[in-house]
Amino acid sequence: MHLSGKIGIIGGSGFYNIEGIKSVKEIKVKTPFGDPSSEYVTGMLEGAEVVFLARHDKGHRILPSEINYRANIYGMKKLGVERIISVSACGSLKEDLKPLDIVVPSQFVDRTNSGRDMTFFGNGIVAHIQFADPVCPHLSKELYDAGIKAGASMHLGGTYVNMEGPQFSTKAESRLYRSWGMDIIGMTNLAEAKLAREAEMCYATLACITDYDCWHMDQAVESVSVEMIIQNLLKNVDVSKKIVKSVLPKLSKGKDCSCEHALKDSIITRPDVIPAKVKKDLELIIGKYIK
């Protein structure tokens, strides 16, 4: 059992800040991959050291395809984060996953257009991490338990389809994903999960359902699809903030998972042929394996 480091919180749509952080500091972080979405907000929350980042920036000005996922995750690592709680809005692809329910997904399927950078490797260094189980099981269970205690309708496990966006699905796409047995749909989490794993950080998601994508008959009623989605989004943000606050004291007890060793034996490249600049840029991530 490893004692706890800092907890990162990435807030999605509607979740641009978290109230109650003590000794607040805003920190601008430079990374070899460019600028993160925003300044990081650090401080103490419920007895834990936290680092908060608004995924789309505070004024929601960055598209899912435009987010610099590498910079966001690298910045978290640089600030000493060991575990990341991601909070995201999503659509439901199943009748029993209702708006306002929260899913802690266990799997992802990639439906992006491969335009976004989802790895720290390349440019002379090759690594292949295990990604069969793409989220931290320990952090996921803690989030689920905290959600139940907060009175939310929680679902542990399920598959998150990561679409490109920014447009929502067509009905044909939505029905296709349902026929594949997918559970929820969103635009951002897969890249974060991949990069967090490469950087040996725990990652888990509170995927908060705002609507039934477009396959559902109710969704065809316009009043349901616009006003209600926004109302649901705001309600979800309130509940997810409660869950985050209530899980933090639990996480101070430490973690019991293998995320922090994810890169061990995964770097294939012979160390002496890795370019010096790559070694320097990635030292934070590969330094314990490559000298």
Catalytic residues: 211, 213
- Using the rule CB under 5 A, is 190 a contact of Zn ion? no
CB of 256 to Zn ion, least distance (A): 8
Sign (positive or negative) of CA dihedral 238, 51, 53, 136: negative
Q: Closer CB to Zn ion, residue 89 or residue 244?
A: 244
- Residue among 168, 201, 235, 162 nearest 80 (CA): 201
Q: Closer CB to Zn ion, residue 85 or residue 136?
A: 136
- With CB under 5 A as the contact rule, the residue among 67, 143, 185, 259 that binds Zn ion is 259
CB of 197 to Zn ion, least distance (A): 9
- Residue among 140, 76, 48, 82 nearest 260 (CA): 82
Distance of alpha carbon 185 from alpha carbon 91, whole angstroms: 5
Q: Are strands 81-92 and 102-104 parallel, antiparallel or unpaired?
A: unpaired
Q: Closer CB to Zn ion, residue 237 or residue 251?
A: 251
- Using the rule CB under 5 A, is 81 a contact of Zn ion? no
User: Would you tell me how many other CB atoms lie within 10 Å of the CB of residue 10?
Assistant: 25
Helices and strands: H and E segment counts in the chain: 8, 11
Burial per residue of 24-34, b for 16 or more beta-carbon CB atoms within 10 angstroms, e otherwise: eeeeebebebe
Binding mask 191-210 for Zn ion (x = CB under 5 A): -----------x--------
Q: Closer CB to Zn ion, residue 136 or residue 184?
A: 136
Among 10-18, 58-66, 128-136, 277-285, which window interacts with Zn ion (CB under 5 A)?
128-136
- Residue among 151, 155, 159 nearest 238 (CA): 151
Q: Taking the chain, what is the end-to-end CA distance rounded to the nearest angstrom? A: 27
Q: Closer CB to Zn ion, residue 76 or residue 214?
A: 76
Structural contact between residues 81 and 192, judged by C-beta atoms closer than 8 angstroms:
no
Count the residues of the shown chain that bind Zn ion, applying the rule CB under 5 A: 4
Among 16-24, 57-65, 225-233, 251-259, which window interacts with Zn ion (CB under 5 A)?
251-259
- With CB under 5 A as the contact rule, the residue among 257, 278, 282, 286 that binds Zn ion is 257
- With CB under 5 A as the contact rule, the residue among 136, 191, 282, 285 that binds Zn ion is 136
- Contact set with Zn ion (CB under 5 A): 136, 202, 257, 259
